Amino acid sequence: MSAAVAQRRITPSAALLDHLRQLLGDRLSTATAVREQHGRDESYHVTAPPDAVAFARSTEEVSEIVKACAAAGVPVIPFGTGTSLEGHVAALHGGISIDVSQMKEVLRVSTADLDCTVQAGVTRKQLNEHLRDTGLFFPIDPGADASLGGMAATRASGTNAVRYGTMRENVLGLTVVLADGRIIRTGGRARKSAAGYDLTRLFVGSEGTLGVITEVTLRLYGVPEAMAAAVCSFPTLAGAVDTVIQTIQSGIPVARIELLDEVQMAAINRYSKLDYPEQPTLFCEFHGTAAGVAEQSEMVKAIAAEEGAADFQWATKPEDRSRLWAARHTAYYAAIAMRPGAKGWATDVCVPISRLAECILETKKDIVESRLLAPIVGHVGDGNFHLAFIIDPDDPDEIARAQALNDRMVHRALAMGGTCTGEHGIGYGKINFLTAEHGDAVSVMRMLKKALDPDNIMNPGKIVSP
């Protein structure tokens, strides 16, 4: 971590800063507090502030900023809302953070085609607020109210992905400013296309290392006729995970199925003043027609009962469902609050569903043996689960134990045919696992990076090392 931060800084000249100030006026900031806020994410990674923050308002402005930085060889770090978790926005080599949060216009909504185009700074909650009276919604929900540009850049997913897919499935097209300032459009509004290389999917998940996304065209969905959510606790972790596996293998189209272990349940009870049983628990949601929702929920209930579950606690009214999911979404902060002064280190892996129980149970055994505080939560319907290490960042022994446990979990997931991250991404926190996962394919990633960003100015030090 510290070695990465200690890399060579490339400081922008006074002439470059003057040029950007002429372009942006007071939307260029060199204030320490603003720089620090843009050099850290929501994890334990050390802050590495950029030299300045440029608040852009249009694609053309982003292009002008990137052109000026490219001419000076100064790094550019795109910034959405800063909720990423693997050191993604740290300015490891200094440079200019391009903050797109003022690019917040919903440019177009088509109810006939179920799609929309937004500027990159629009957040998922802002989009759903905008869609409120249309009967449509955008389902991808990473918990945090992240920007849609940032979500595209991290290939985000979250609780609803088991039913609606991730950003990979839901981004139809992009406007991107390349490392030389050129503006390109990728993809389009057609639901399918066989026209050339799929550049949209190249930029989705590129974490700001190939270009700055300024506009995103997204799929939308009709709000389901009926929705119901339920909470169900289990005497064992194995029972909860086996319920998920059987649910998915039976083809029941759950909209959400989330696991929280007993440590996490204790944390959210304390944080959100709730009184759920402090046992391994599933939070589920069903979408469809009233009859469909009733049928799906009965099927899951029957599977859960065989695994020893207590009864479902239902939340059918919108306000009760919101309360339930609000508690789920505060899980990370609830876990951090268990240990005053501690920091969170969230990590995730994803495995094929048939290996999920084995992967989670072996990881749980490691946690118990390590004596670390590390609740498990997961979007388990996708085979994806998270640990949040609640650690003292100044205790090297604790960091080393967490690092060792994380390494074991990642290598376990890889050995099971899984991935080192289902959704949080690589940043610099997981950069060392990429070759273990992809082998020589990493050299092709490096070639793509070199072709699109020959001077390595786009978020350098992330995903692939030069």
Interacting residues with ligand FAD (CB under 6 A): 41-42, 77-85, 88-89, 100, 120, 142-144, 146-147, 149-151, 153-154, 156-158, 207-208, 212-213, 332, 423-424, 459, 462
State which residue has the least CB distance to ligand FAD: 150
Closer Cβ to ligand FAD, 109 or 212, answer by number: 212
Q: How far is the CB of 295 from ligand FAD (least distance, A)?
A: 28
In three state form, how does the secondary structure of the chain look? CHHHHCCCCCCCCHHHHHHHHHHHHHHEECCHHHHHHHCCCCCCCCCCCCCEEEECCCHHHHHHHHHHHHHHCCCEEEECCCCCCCCCCCCECECEEEECCCCCCEEEEECCCCEEEEECCCEHHHHHHHCCCCCEECCCCCCCCCEHHHHHHHCCCCCCHHHHCCHHHHEEEEEEEECCCCEEEEECCCCCCCCCCCHHHHHCCCCCCCEEEEEEEEECEECCCEEEEEEEECCCHHHHHHHHHHHHHCCCCCCEEEEECHHHHHHHHHHHCCCCCCCCEEEEEEEECHHHHHHHHHHHHHHHHHCCCCCCEEECCHHHHHHHHHHHHCHHHHHHHCCCCCEEEEEEEECCHHHHHHHHHHHHHHHHHHCCCCCEEEEHHHCEEEEEEEECCCCHHHHHHHHHHHHHHHHHHHHCCCECCCCCCCCCCCHHHHHHHHCCHHHHHHHHHHHHCCCCCECCCCCCCC
Residue whose CB is less far from ligand FAD, 24 or 293: 24
Shortest distance, position 209 Cβ to ligand FAD, whole Å: 7
Least distance (Å) from ligand FAD to the CB of residue 353? Answer: 18
Q: Which is nearer to ligand FAD, 21 or 168 (CB)?
A: 168
Q: How far is the CB of 76 from ligand FAD (least distance, A)?
A: 9
Min dist CB 148 to ligand FAD, Å, is 8
Taking the complex as a whole, how short is the minimal distance between the CB of residue 452 and ligand FAD, in angstroms?
Answer: 12
Q: Which is nearer to ligand FAD, 137 or 314 (CB)?
A: 137
- Minimum Å distance from CB 176 to ligand FAD? 8
**C-beta of 211 vs 239, nearer to ligand FAD:** 211
Instruction: Decide whether 239 or 383 has the Cβ nearer to ligand FAD.
Output: 383
Between 293 and 380, name the residue whose CB sits nearer to ligand FAD: 380
